[in-house]
């Protein structure tokens, strides 16, 4: 029997969570659209477990047209009604409306980037000087000063469901923070 790789404890024994841990969690994402998608999914996760969202992720992608911000930004009451009836996703009107609004804000940022050169990805990564914050203390935070700053900046832009705890979980997911435990095989200290 092969020896099991040591992983972060949260990955547990669930194959979906382990696969997510091994292939996605903590890997730096620089693609603006994907950063936005993950931020919206983290917003849906508020009050729930990530496992619930991960199990519904494909249904979310289908429901929100592959998280195409230009398409989602055009959603109105008929699409909201469709989404509220979709049993495959989290049917929270507030979270659905926050995602539609988030698509509009994202699109505005991307439009402004044509003049400024700072797209959604560059803007968000600028909070860490374009570097991943590596945590090898074994102490996992729920929020940090950086997540508080990003949260405040997102809220100032009009995003919803982007409190500092949600933002920190998002930072971990998209690799702005590398919080793999010191004994995890994915820990940079062991690479």
Q: Which domain holds residue 91?
A: 13-190
Q: Looking at the DSSP assignment, which residues form a beta bridge with residue 134?
A: 178
Q: Sign of dihedral through CA atoms 80, 82, 84, 90? A: negative
**Residue 11 banded pLDDT, cuts 50, 70, 90:** very high
On whether residue 80 sits in a domain, the answer given is yes
87 among known catalytic residues: no
Percentage helix, strand, coil, to 5, in the chain?
60, 0, 40
* Neighbour tally for 32: CB within 10 Å: 19
Residues contacting residue 37 through CB under 8 Å, at least 6 positions apart: 67
Answering whether pTM is above 0.75, one says yes
pLDDT computed for residue 10 by the predictor: 93
106 among known catalytic residues: no
Q: Which residue out of 24, 50, 97, 185 is catalytically annotated?
A: 50
**Token pair belonging to 155:** 């809220």
Q: Is the pLDDT of residue 191 over 50?
A: no
| Chain centroid offset of residue 191 CA | 24
On whether residue 102 sits in a domain, the answer given is yes
On whether residue 3 sits in a domain, the answer given is no
When pLDDT is averaged across residues 172-185 and rounded to a whole number, the result is: 94
**Token pair belonging to 78:** 């008929």
Q: Is the pLDDT of residue 98 over 70?
A: yes
Question: Could you tell me the CATH number of the domain that includes residue 158?
Answer: 1.10.340.30
20 among known catalytic residues: yes
Domains in the chain: how many in total? 1
When pLDDT is averaged across residues 158-179 and rounded to a whole number, the result is: 97
On whether residue 5 sits in a domain, the answer given is no
On whether residue 128 sits in a domain, the answer given is yes
On whether residue 182 sits in a domain, the answer given is yes
**Residue 188 banded pLDDT, cuts 50, 70, 90:** low
**Residue 5 banded pLDDT, cuts 50, 70, 90:** confident
List, for residues 39-76, the tens digit of each pLDDT value: 999 999 999 999 999 999 999 999 999 999 999 999 99
pLDDT computed for residue 4 by the predictor: 82
Q: Which residue out of 25, 36, 42, 106 is catalytically annotated?
A: 42
Cα–Cα distance, 44 to 63 (Å, whole number): 13
């Amino acid at each position: 029997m092969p020896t099991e790789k040591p992983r972060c404890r949260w990955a547990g024994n669930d194959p979906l969570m382990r696969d997510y841990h091994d292939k996605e969690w903590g890997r730096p994402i620089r693609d603006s659209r994907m950063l936005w998608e993950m931020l919206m999914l983290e917003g849906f996760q508020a009050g729930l477990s990530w496992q619930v969202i991960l199990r519904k992720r494909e249904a979310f992608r289908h429901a929100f047209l592959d998280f195409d911000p230009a398409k989602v930004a055009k959603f109105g009451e008929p699409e909201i009604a469709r989404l509220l009836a979709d049993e495959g996703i989290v049917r929270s009107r507030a979270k659905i409306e926050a995602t539609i609004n988030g698509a509009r804000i994202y699109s505005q940022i991307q439009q402004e980037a044509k003049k400024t050169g700072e797209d959604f990805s560059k803007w968000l990564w600028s909070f860490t000087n374009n570097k991943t914050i590596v945590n090898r203390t074994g102490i996992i935070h729920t929020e940090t000063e950086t997540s508080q700053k990003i949260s405040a900046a997102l809220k100032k832009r009009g995003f919803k469901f982007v409190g500092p705890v949600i933002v920190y979980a998002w930072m971990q997911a998209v690799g702005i923070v590398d919080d793999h435990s010191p004994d995890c095989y994915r820990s940079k200290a062991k690479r």
